[in-house]
Structure 1
């Protein structure tokens, strides 16, 4: 009788140990999914390096021309609703061609060349856009706006921190939706978050020629436990 009880106890103990080990060594089931959030926003800052160049053989005459044309340019900007707080007149850069040993002096038209830059940095997006679009009007005042690299208007979105929380929540919600679909397909249920990684936010033009509209995008990667 004692032998029978001992045998039963050993069998029960063996079963308990077996199921216990199965629970310990069974790996956690999980699914890793990605959630996307996109939002179109309006740019809130316009930056324009507005510059022109003039030449003269007299420094004093060059100075007077710079002052006169800069005032014309400032008046032009104010006509479009831009105030002096919206732009900065930077110091003129003057080149003395007579000091250039590699230049053929017989072909030099002007001894001095000056480049004047006015940096426009404003939240008045439409005003800057209109002023840029009509800048050829300045030609009648003797001002030819430089069209070299960096002369285009750059539109920026600076309020990313204001929309970050909502976008992260939306991306996470979309990730859970994908996880729930996977769980249904595998006869499982979505459990707690095991691990989550937030991707970088990207800000790009909404479309070519529509630089004042921005597309903000973020992707989150979330790993859920499956039950």
Structure 2
């Protein structure tokens, strides 16, 4: 009797172990039965904010006179910009940068023999930030008028931004997620399976490049500011359980 009981217990232990092993094996395979897909969200848009800057310089052996000349140029620039329709609050002048300049004399061996102070060079930057993109863009191309008036003005290329980028990004994430889901569903159906629960999701890098350009994407994310018309891209990677 005791032998029979031991035999029954041993048999039950084998059956239970086999069941547990089978269940673990099935769960392991089930966790491996997943589909990973990448969806793309893409949107063209036009910048609604422009930032344009430039600098102007005056030189004079006397610092006070250099400041006086720079003040005159600053007023010429301010009046010019406001006459073109730029609002006064959109014009920002930076602090003045002061550099001492010298003239150098060298001997026949290229060694410096003498340096003579030649004057002060004062430089100031001006920045215009406006939502009137086309207007400021046009003005940035007409700076020769300032130069012709005697202002030593150096213009920088305009930079273009989009103030509704956060809303756009949310919309694109939804689009990329929808695209990834459709891809996963198609793959599952073609394989004779059905799509199960979402197991994992990862968002890729947000990229902004110029429209219709050969600009390369960056692993860290591109953010083009030189083009008014841009294209934004974002990817979303989803992993689904397959039933």
TM range (shorter): 0.7 to 0.9
Q: 1:46-74 CA distances to partner (integer Å, 9 max, x unpaired)?
A: 22221022212233332222111111111
Asked if 1:156 is matched to 2:175, the reply is: no
Q: Which of residues 99, 111, 128 in structure 2 aligns to 1:120?
A: 128
Q: What is the root-mean-square deviation in Å for CA atoms of aligned residues?
A: 3.0
Alpha-carbon shift at residue 17 of structure 1 (Å): 8.2
Aligned residues: 211
Shift in CA distance, 111/17, structure 1 to aligned 2, threshold 3 Å: closer
SS in 2 for 1:223: strand
The equivalent of 1:7 in structure 2 is none
Measure, in 1, the Cα distance between the counterparts of 2:89 and 2:232. 29
Is contact 2:188-2:194 (8 Å) kept? yes
Measure, in 2, the Cα distance between the counterparts of 1:135 and 1:99. 30
Is contact 2:102-2:115 (8 Å) kept? no
Output the TM-score relative to the length of structure 1.
Answer: 0.80
- Map 1:55-94 → 2, pairs under 5 A: 55-94=59-98
Measure, in 2, the Cα distance between the counterparts of 1:90 and 1:17. 79
Q: Which runs of 5+ in 2 are unaligned?
A: 1-10, 106-111, 214-224
Asked if 1:168 is matched to 2:168, the reply is: no
Alpha-carbon shift at residue 98 of structure 1 (Å): 5.6
Measure, in 1, the Cα distance between the counterparts of 2:68 and 2:205. 51
SS in 2 for 1:65: helix
Is contact 2:41-2:173 (8 Å) kept? yes
Shift in CA distance, 94/210, structure 1 to aligned 2, threshold 3 Å: closer
Shift in CA distance, 182/163, structure 1 to aligned 2, threshold 3 Å: same
The equivalent of 1:211 in structure 2 is 227
The equivalent of 1:193 in structure 2 is 198
Is contact 1:87-1:122 (8 Å) kept? no
Output the TM-score relative to the length of structure 2.
Answer: 0.75
The equivalent of 1:25 in structure 2 is 25
Asked if 1:37 is matched to 2:37, the reply is: no
- Structure holding more strand per residue: 2
